Structure 1
Amino acid sequence: MDIFHHILKQYWGYDTFRPLQEDIIKSITNGDDTLGLMPTGGGKSLTFQVPAMAKEGICLVVTPLIALMKDQVDNLKKRDIKASAIYSGLMRDEINITLDNCIFGGTKFLYISPERLGTDLFQEKVKQMNVNLLAIDEAHCISQWGYDFRPSYLNISEIRQLLPETPILALTATATPEVADDIQKRLLFKKKNLFQKSFKRDNLVYVVRQAEDKEQQLLNIINKVPGSAVVYVRNRKKTQEYSELLVKNGISASSFHAGMPLEVKDKRQKLWTNGEIRIIVSTNAFGMGIDKPDVRLVVHMDAPDSLEAYYQEAGRAGRDGKKAFAVLLWSNNDNVRLKRSISVSFPEKDKILAVYEALGNFFQLAVGSGFGMVYDFNLPLFCKSYRMNMMTVFNSLKILQRAGYLEFTEELQLSAKVHFITRRDDLYKFQVANEDFDQLIKLLLRSYTGLFTEYVPINEELLAKRMNTNRDAIYQNLVKLGKLGIIKYIPQKKTPLISYTTSREDSKYITLPKEVYKDRKEQYEQRISSVIDYGTSNHICRSKLLLRYFGQTQSDNCGFCDVCQSMKKTNLSVEQFGSIQQQIVDKLQSSALTYDDLVIALKSPQDELSKVLRWMEEYQMIIENEDGQLELLDEQSK
């Protein structure tokens, strides 16, 4: 058994790697910069966790997903692997202690948000660390061609220059060929090195249902497909409405969205993961970092605004390799809403500048100040104060973030944290002299480790339950211990954050470069068009259409999606049908032909050819012109 399999077995309990994992690990071990393109559920995290465990030093993991960051840190700690995280919203003291522990304290994994990479503090400290691997999750965020470009990812190239001998592993679940090339270029790969798993999911059946009554369709589908399911909806209100609909119809369900208290989300996620709740109805906040292999069904009540997002969310079904379904419920309203989302996502430039100006006034920032400052941001209050539309503000902030003026972190939920700053012998004397605090101090020390070396997340609800008191009493006592100099206490906080990455500018000097606004808007329009094509086309295999979008142009019909099922109604196999259809398309591409000319040109039996032609006419792929000739209608069929 080699060291990688030994580590895999010892810490994760697996005997073998999944496809592609071992290839990526060997590439990294050879010191080669590597891009791993692995669809959702492919086990990306093990490709950096295993090789990092096999070498001396620390692994830096860059990710923009704070929820995923905290989840992975918790999972590593459960395996007795020391890990920590740094992201916006932490106090400077917390960050200092965490970084010092990375230098001296044996920390094996440091998860860090991309905006923290550019700080002087981090760049000074990282030079003192023995970094054995730089892992970049969600690597598509570095590409201006990607669907979720983040300027802070460009800071990674600076870190590369500080760590010239450290190999880099970039990972993403979704990237077109253009984006994959751009990732390697921007991360300063010494040579191109891509490991790609096919986007094809043989066990996942893609289905689009035309549905004006989506509620009834949802009930029909869930009653037909047994097992665990995720239902994705567009907004928080809908999570509650649809979960109540399911419960009223005798189906075990619960709602989930980013605005819920952390303990509520954790509880619901655990109930669903353990199978005590069958259906979770959620916004796209649900799913990142969640590895439940036996999900049999993912339903999208509303279409996402990109096929990348759809592929990732749909791909949470069937990770165990068994048959599963990904269903998109589509109506004419989806078409209208998606087209309208273009103007919503890209407000007029004067509105974006107005948001930036108002933001500076809201924080009482003078022009030329604010660089590096982080502010709690009350979005509803801001919109009310300046009479602005919430979606206009939200999307303007995203564009200003892409332009490099600020970072906008949505609804960050930070657990309460405690760090003991008194020495153990002095703490004992304090406990003897202050009996009122003794029980709480003992409970903290019994419940959590590392309290003397770092800030440790605590659960105030759990502490209150164990002490037979209420949460407020725990809070008040922790505040008092803080004032007495025994601990440093950071209360739980839930708020969006605004971080200024440059000093406040006079708004007339704010520029939105072509690649940030105009180019991005055009790319967004193309992505919207691709989603509409997916939702409205009824003559191209769903799997084939998705694979084509991701650059896999040579693929067969899946044989299971709704389009392939309609082909089977001709009493031809999907293979037969696909072959004849392709022959017809090839012939009609060059010129229109009569039916008789086609029969002569093609060698297929006439009855089979007739069935395929009738099907293609029914689904408006071909039409008979005034001269009685058949010609192609749909460009996609080419």
Structure 2
Amino acid sequence: MEKQALDQLRHVLRNPNAYWSSDSQRFGVLGALDGSSDVLVISATGSGKTMIAIIAALLNPAEITVMVIPLRQLQNDYRLRLESMGVPFFNYTSAENQIPSSTSLLLVSWDMAVSPQFRSALRVVHETQKVGRFVCDEVHLPILDSDFRASLRYSSELRCVPAPIVGMTATGPPPSISIIADRLGLLHKFTLVRGPTDRPELVYCIEPIYKWADLVQRVVELVTTSTSILTEPEDRILIFVRLVKHGEELAQELGCELYTGKSAITPDRLQVYEDWTAGINKVLVGTSALIAGNDYRHIRMVIFAGTCPDTSSLIQGFGRAGRDGKPAYCHLLPDRSFSPFQPKDKGVDSVGFGLASRLAKNTTKLCIRFQLTRFSDGYGIFCKDSRHRHLCSNCEYEKTNPKPAAATHTRAITSISLPIHEQLAVRTSPSIGAPRTFESAVGTADLQRTQRIAPAQHVVDALERGFSLFQEKCTACDNDWHEIEECNRNQAKMIQRGVRYSKPTGQQKDTYGSVCYHCHLPQLPGDIIHPEFGKKEDCQHPHFMLGIAVKVKRDPELYANAKRDLKINATSYEEWLSQRCIQDPTFITNFVHLSVWYLTQIP
């Protein structure tokens, strides 16, 4: 099956040497062709997900592949792309009452797909031309936009005939998987194809918070000085705004057009978009209607003029840039007037409202690429580890303003925790068909990294939350920060001297990491909890865990609960803290386990 699929890919691309652009494209196509289960494909923007529907339709001309597209502009992009490829399709609109029985690839908007008119027409044609599958693009939108678009609230009604659903998105954080599956009505056992979402060609930049008037001038400055990146005739700039009135002001200042979802303001959206792609205007200002609504390949710069309300939209918007694989710049210009949104379901922030707010403030100066990929994938990739090593503005700042070697209790990493309700395995298939390329091997390595480090993320999340909670405070007494010897000198010395770690075996260290012998913090994936181990002065949180150990031992009730929950049964408290954690090896030591346990007791 894979050989035939690859042949079709090469035929459509008119390239006899073409190969899968990513493992997620490959396994997504094979999953769609298999047809024995629903499939959810999560992969970076520009990773070739569109080919899933095209190849499935071409290899199954006696079946109908229904391509459900959420946004009108995206539907137009699909139509133009299919025409240029010579792929036959039928575009269903409100003017249609019937679907030709000869159809193999059917395009339909999300609004129409849940309408009685379309459901009836599809059921009729299904009797003579079987529906083989529904392929739904941008399946994160039912979570993000259901309050604004009524049709998205009924996305679980898409399956009006018995056929598998293949959902695709570039933003599917681990906690959102079950929500997306529920909104789409996926069967309980579905195939998950997850690829890394890092876009190594993108350069991220977060600027200081602006007043709106200053922000407008900064956008104008970025656009007018962009000649160095607009080197080809097809290169473009795309600017997103949160409010229509802001878009109108910016479009007037820049002398360009405004794309909105409101007919009264943008009566001919298609013409506005085509003027931009044709180069009549090289700059386009758009609202959220365009964030996931275009696949133009040569966008050299994306600007969010104003704070983006959620991380999913930010990633989608940034993902419009550099789809041709060339370097592109992504700017976030936060504005002061923004009030952060709150998730409806308490404790569940599946679209990243909290992270979007923290990114806008940017107080931690933590690698932007790391924060975005951590949100999307459950683990993060730093700029220095990304394939092209394009540094974001925070990494550039750290490069020119290195952190002081001395311990800095004042710097605490704001929690970017992402609750992981369940660990979802990356599902792949054995390598078959043509030899794997080096590019494909990179993707496989990234997936293996996901599987390796995902179990430790709950430790990272808990400790980061603790750093934030106890910023400028002593963990032993909850008062303003001071050297721990000032409040619990004897107890602290006893614990510090009594903790003696045994050297971990190679397998233990390779799988779960190690700990700092000075401050007891673990070295976990990404080194964000503790940097490469060195001198005692390098520890950024020297007494954080020691203070927790002192506090637990000093409080009789707390210590009794710890003994019960953590099964403290060694001859001494210090000996138990030194031991490798048997209950859950991802904690590495009992000392780390105790600290995380204590932090979970704090509301």
Normalization by structure 1: what TM-score? 0.56
Q: What secondary structure sits across from 2:140 in the alignment?
A: helix
**Aligned partners of 1:66 and 1:113 also within 8 Å:** no
Counterpart for residue 357 of structure 2: 532
The one-character-per-residue Cα deviations of 1:301-357 (angstroms, maximum 9, x if unpaired) are 1223211111101111122333222111113222x3x45xx7xxxxxxxxxxxxxxx
- What are the equivalent positions in structure 2 for 1:599-610 lying under 5 Å apart? 601=519, 604-605=534-535
2:373 pairs with 1:547:
yes
* Structure 1 Cα separation of the partners of residues 375 and 146 of structure 2: 13
2:170 pairs with 1:173:
yes
Over 3 Å counting, the alpha-carbon distance change for 1:117 and 1:269 in structure 2 is closer
* Structure 1 Cα separation of the partners of residues 349 and 177 of structure 2: 18
Letter in 1 for 2:259: F
The alpha-carbon deviation at position 57 of structure 1 amounts to 1.9
Letter in 1 for 2:333: L
Counterpart for residue 512 of structure 2: none
* Structure 1 Cα separation of the partners of residues 216 and 395 of structure 2: 25
Counterpart for residue 257 of structure 1: 260
Over 3 Å counting, the alpha-carbon distance change for 1:79 and 1:294 in structure 2 is closer
Counterpart for residue 433 of structure 1: none
The one-character-per-residue Cα deviations of 1:254-307 (angstroms, maximum 9, x if unpaired) are 433334688854444334324453321222223545333332211111223211
2:45 pairs with 1:40:
yes
> Mean Cα displacement is larger for which, 181-190 or 307-316?
181-190
2:105 pairs with 1:108:
yes
> Mean Cα displacement is larger for which, 594-603 or 12-21?
594-603
* Structure 2 Cα separation of the partners of residues 555 and 176 of structure 1: 15
Structure 1 spans left out of the alignment, 5+ residues: 248-252, 343-517, 615-634
Counterpart for residue 65 of structure 1: 71
- What are the equivalent positions in structure 2 for 1:431-450 lying under 5 Å apart? none
Q: What secondary structure sits across from 1:544 in the alignment?
A: helix
The alpha-carbon deviation at position 122 of structure 1 amounts to 3.3
**Aligned partners of 1:137 and 1:170 also within 8 Å:** yes
* Structure 1 Cα separation of the partners of residues 272 and 143 of structure 2: 35
Letter in 1 for 2:217: Q
RMSD: 4.2
* Structure 2 Cα separation of the partners of residues 82 and 262 of structure 1: 31
* Structure 1 Cα separation of the partners of residues 21 and 395 of structure 2: 29
Over 3 Å counting, the alpha-carbon distance change for 1:256 and 1:554 in structure 2 is closer
* Structure 1 Cα separation of the partners of residues 369 and 299 of structure 2: 19
The alpha-carbon deviation at position 60 of structure 1 amounts to 1.2
Over 3 Å counting, the alpha-carbon distance change for 1:324 and 1:145 in structure 2 is closer
* Structure 1 Cα separation of the partners of residues 534 and 269 of structure 2: 58
Letter in 2 for 1:151: R
2:396 pairs with 1:565:
yes
- What are the equivalent positions in structure 2 for 1:77-96 lying under 5 Å apart? 77-87=83-93, 90=94, 94-96=95-97
Over 3 Å counting, the alpha-carbon distance change for 1:595 and 1:201 in structure 2 is farther
* Structure 1 Cα separation of the partners of residues 484 and 312 of structure 2: 40
**Aligned partners of 1:136 and 1:170 also within 8 Å:** yes
**Aligned partners of 1:133 and 1:169 also within 8 Å:** yes
* Structure 2 Cα separation of the partners of residues 546 and 148 of structure 1: 25
Q: What secondary structure sits across from 1:139 in the alignment?
A: coil
Deviating 4+ runs (over 6 angstroms): 144-149, 580-583, 585-590, 595-599
* Structure 1 Cα separation of the partners of residues 145 and 295 of structure 2: 28
**Aligned partners of 2:310 and 2:351 also within 8 Å:** no
**Aligned partners of 1:138 and 1:173 also within 8 Å:** yes
**Alignment equivalent of 1:234, drawn from 239, 242, 252:** 242
* Structure 1 Cα separation of the partners of residues 259 and 112 of structure 2: 28
* Structure 1 Cα separation of the partners of residues 217 and 71 of structure 2: 35
Over 3 Å counting, the alpha-carbon distance change for 1:147 and 1:324 in structure 2 is farther
The one-character-per-residue Cα deviations of 1:199-243 (angstroms, maximum 9, x if unpaired) are 222222222111231122223333156323111122334334223
Letter in 2 for 1:323: P
**Aligned partners of 1:296 and 1:318 also within 8 Å:** yes
Over 3 Å counting, the alpha-carbon distance change for 1:532 and 1:60 in structure 2 is same
Q: What secondary structure sits across from 1:43 in the alignment?
A: coil
**Aligned partners of 2:238 and 2:303 also within 8 Å:** yes
* Structure 1 Cα separation of the partners of residues 80 and 300 of structure 2: 27
Q: What secondary structure sits across from 1:550 in the alignment?
A: helix
Over 3 Å counting, the alpha-carbon distance change for 1:76 and 1:572 in structure 2 is same
The one-character-per-residue Cα deviations of 1:95-119 (angstroms, maximum 9, x if unpaired) are 32x32x1x2x445324253554462
The one-character-per-residue Cα deviations of 1:397-431 (angstroms, maximum 9, x if unpaired) are xxxxxxxxxxxxxxxxxxxxxxxxxxxxxxxxxxx
Percent of paired sites with the same residue? 18
Over 3 Å counting, the alpha-carbon distance change for 1:126 and 1:175 in structure 2 is farther
Counterpart for residue 435 of structure 2: none
Counterpart for residue 578 of structure 2: none
Counterpart for residue 478 of structure 1: none
Letter in 1 for 2:156: L
Larger radius of gyration: 1
Q: What secondary structure sits across from 2:261 in the alignment?
A: coil
2:120 pairs with 1:121:
yes
> Mean Cα displacement is larger for which, 286-295 or 212-221?
286-295
* Structure 1 Cα separation of the partners of residues 284 and 216 of structure 2: 15
Counterpart for residue 303 of structure 1: 307
Over 3 Å counting, the alpha-carbon distance change for 1:115 and 1:267 in structure 2 is closer
Counterpart for residue 154 of structure 1: 156
Counterpart for residue 5 of structure 2: 4
Over 3 Å counting, the alpha-carbon distance change for 1:123 and 1:554 in structure 2 is same
* Structure 1 Cα separation of the partners of residues 517 and 179 of structure 2: 47
Over 3 Å counting, the alpha-carbon distance change for 1:246 and 1:187 in structure 2 is same
Over 3 Å counting, the alpha-carbon distance change for 1:167 and 1:259 in structure 2 is closer
* Structure 1 Cα separation of the partners of residues 302 and 113 of structure 2: 35
* Structure 1 Cα separation of the partners of residues 84 and 130 of structure 2: 24
Letter in 2 for 1:537: N
**Aligned partners of 1:272 and 1:279 also within 8 Å:** yes
Q: What secondary structure sits across from 2:90 in the alignment?
A: strand
The alpha-carbon deviation at position 35 of structure 1 amounts to 0.9
- What are the equivalent positions in structure 2 for 1:378-457 lying under 5 Å apart? none
2:316 pairs with 1:312:
yes
**Alignment equivalent of 2:382, drawn from 525, 540, 556:** 556
The one-character-per-residue Cα deviations of 1:576-611 (angstroms, maximum 9, x if unpaired) are x9xx9999x7897894674999995485347766xx
* Structure 2 Cα separation of the partners of residues 573 and 131 of structure 1: 63
2:269 pairs with 1:269:
no
Letter in 2 for 1:270: E
Over 3 Å counting, the alpha-carbon distance change for 1:71 and 1:278 in structure 2 is closer
The alpha-carbon deviation at position 41 of structure 1 amounts to 2.4
Letter in 2 for 1:109: L
> Mean Cα displacement is larger for which, 311-320 or 200-209?
200-209
Counterpart for residue 332 of structure 1: 336
2:61 pairs with 1:53:
no
Letter in 2 for 1:82: P
Q: What secondary structure sits across from 1:95 in the alignment?
A: coil
Q: What secondary structure sits across from 1:316 in the alignment?
A: coil
* Structure 2 Cα separation of the partners of residues 599 and 107 of structure 1: 64
* Structure 2 Cα separation of the partners of residues 526 and 75 of structure 1: 29
**Aligned partners of 1:82 and 1:109 also within 8 Å:** no
2:287 pairs with 1:278:
no
* Structure 2 Cα separation of the partners of residues 234 and 142 of structure 1: 19
Counterpart for residue 201 of structure 1: 199
The alpha-carbon deviation at position 198 of structure 1 amounts to 1.4
**Aligned partners of 1:140 and 1:148 also within 8 Å:** no
Letter in 2 for 1:239: G
Q: What secondary structure sits across from 1:26 in the alignment?
A: helix
Over 3 Å counting, the alpha-carbon distance change for 1:113 and 1:292 in structure 2 is closer
- What are the equivalent positions in structure 2 for 1:574-589 lying under 5 Å apart? none
